[in-house]
Amino acid sequence: MTNKTDRIIIFDTTLRDGEQCPGATLNIDEKLVIAKQLARLGVDIIEAGFAYASPGDFEAVSKIAKIVGTENGPVICSLARAIKADIEAAAEALKPAVNARIHTFISTSDIHLEYQLRKSRAEVLAIAQEMVAYAKSFMTDVEFSPMDAARTDPEFLYQVLEGAIAAGATTVNIPDTVGYTTPSEFGAIIKGIIENVPNIDQAIISVHGHNDLGLAVANFLEAVKNGARQLECTINGIGERAGNASLEELVMALHVRRQYFNPYLGRPVDSQESLTNIDTRQIYKTSRLVSNLTGMLVQANKAIVGANAFAHESGIHQDGVLKNRLTYEIMDAKLIGLTDNQIVLGKHSGRNAFRTRLKELGFELSDTELNKAFVRFKDVADKKKEISDWDLEAIVNDEIQQAPDLFRVELVQVSCGSNARPTATVTLRTPNGEELTDAAIGTGPVDAVYKAINRVVNVPNELIEFSVQSVTGGIDALGEVTIRLRYESRVFSGHAANTDIIVASAQAYVNALNRLYSALQSQEKQEEVSAQKV
């Protein structure tokens, strides 16, 4: 293998580093839904999780390896510390994948060595080599990351990389773990590696970076110019702290500006060939799916996928765009899969028309999912005359989300107004099938509903984020509610769409409570198992 590939490899870590951000926790079925969509998007490698971290992580990696890691599918990867037990768990979980990769890492910066690892450079060098060789005994595709590489002494970095490649690493990843570097600095680090690591031609150079200073994407593009050929990124840029480099921004920068980047990849300036394998028309849908399932909202002015990314507000801009789109637009919204939001279906549309339009929009649903979505569609169409593509997308995303079905909202009724004390009555079906009704007074109708729900569910929590967005314009629009709540130090999210925003609010809250409740149940089970072992 050589680091001179003439295209950019996209390594998606939404399900590993992305999921590490507070509240973005996904269950196994949700991870699988996202992994399938990432495969449709065309990512080359899916980092499906950290198999050793928990039984749930192990199962998710293993399930994705089996279902998505097919012959023509992406490479499925698991993260592993440079520790034998981690590497063994990764190898075991990845067994069902046709193409699998172990990604092992150890810190190399002096600050991490001194305060976190409490090991000498010589010890770290030896561990890196030994553990890469150990990973190699399970599979040929092994990636090694010297964590905090951007703050590592370059001479030591070269030494560790040389050792890892000699031990069998086929990809060496250079993480800017704390989001500290700047574009020219990062470019120089990659250049230095190419010039000073004697066996670098036997590995692909990858980059990984966090967005603490908002520079992750710029850093990666500079790294590409200097020889990096794999980019580790996440959908919507989610991840630890300020997140990771965003996949959609990187891919579209490389696509829109391919004439600029072509020569760095040894291509003719005018080559129209794509620099990545990504099907850009799947970008918007993937972004919405990840946002809905993780509860991580996309800011309106976010590049590429934000609600305002293609909106022109000022008169001068609107005038220009009407005369010729290219006056103020550098890319067509259709390129990322944003449709014209046609009004397509209505109350009289049948299952066939529904199925056909979903197919055209790129949704591949199982029969059960289709049936569930169709029932919802009929319900929405009864209240809303015209159903657009965006409504359909919201309905499907809502129906295929996999929040555990423990408590279910059976009834929500509110009474509120300028001279009334907001009062809510709710009926929930509990996990053991009982129907419980309670009522509460609140500062507003949503507060009253949440108080009534809390009286039934009875798990203390703090609501930390509540957001309502309308899917389309119009008074009868579907409202999407996203909430995040905190239980001790953990954050759980919930999402729901309905023409009635009070009902959507109740459903989103119950979704989040179901995630919390299910986490408490698994914690209890684990504690029971540990108690039995003692």
Residues that bind ligand KIV (CB under 6 A): 17, 105, 145, 147, 173, 175, 177, 208, 210
User: Which residue, 105 or 390, is less far from ligand KIV as judged by CB?
Assistant: 105
Q: What's the min distance (Å) between Cβ of 294 and ligand KIV? A: 17
| DSSP assignment letter at 151 | G
User: Which residue, 3 or 230, is less far from ligand KIV as judged by CB?
Assistant: 230
Q: What's the min distance (Å) between Cβ of 132 and ligand KIV? A: 14
Cα 456 to Cα 451: distance, rounded to the nearest angstrom? 9
Q: What's the min distance (Å) between Cβ of 190 and ligand KIV? A: 16
Across the strands, what pairs with 147? 107
CA 450 to chain centre: 28
User: Which residue, 233 or 478, is less far from Zn ion as judged by CB?
Assistant: 233
65 phi, psi to nearest 5 deg: -60, -40
User: Which residue, 232 or 389, is less far from ligand KIV as judged by CB?
Assistant: 232
Q: Which does 147 bind (CB under 5 to 8 A by kind): Zn ion, ligand KIV, none?
A: ligand KIV
Q: Which does 105 bind (CB under 5 to 8 A by kind): Zn ion, ligand KIV, none?
A: ligand KIV
Closest by CA position to 174, among listed 476, 185, 166: 185
Q: Which does 145 bind (CB under 5 to 8 A by kind): Zn ion, ligand KIV, none?
A: ligand KIV
User: Which residue, 113 or 513, is less far from ligand KIV as judged by CB?
Assistant: 113
User: Which residue, 215 or 403, is less far from Zn ion as judged by CB?
Assistant: 215
Closest by CA position to 244, among listed 34, 45, 16: 16
Closest by CA position to 151, among listed 186, 116, 192, 202: 186
3-state secondary structure of 531: helix
User: Which residue, 17 or 389, is less far from ligand KIV as judged by CB?
Assistant: 17
CB 252, CB 336: distance < 8 Å:
yes
Q: What's the min distance (Å) between Cβ of 105 and ligand KIV? A: 4
Question: How many degrees, rounded to 5, is the angle at CA 509 between CA 507 and CA 510?
Answer: 65
DSSP E strands in 347-458: the ranges are 386-388, 408-415, 423-429, 435-441
3-state secondary structure of 408: strand
Q: What's the min distance (Å) between Cβ of 22 and ligand KIV? A: 16
Cα 85 to Cα 88: distance, rounded to the nearest angstrom? 5
Return residues touching Zn ion (CB under 5 A).
Answer: 17
Cα 17 to Cα 209: distance, rounded to the nearest angstrom? 10
Q: What's the min distance (Å) between Cβ of 146 and ligand KIV? A: 9
Q: What's the min distance (Å) between Cβ of 131 and ligand KIV? A: 13
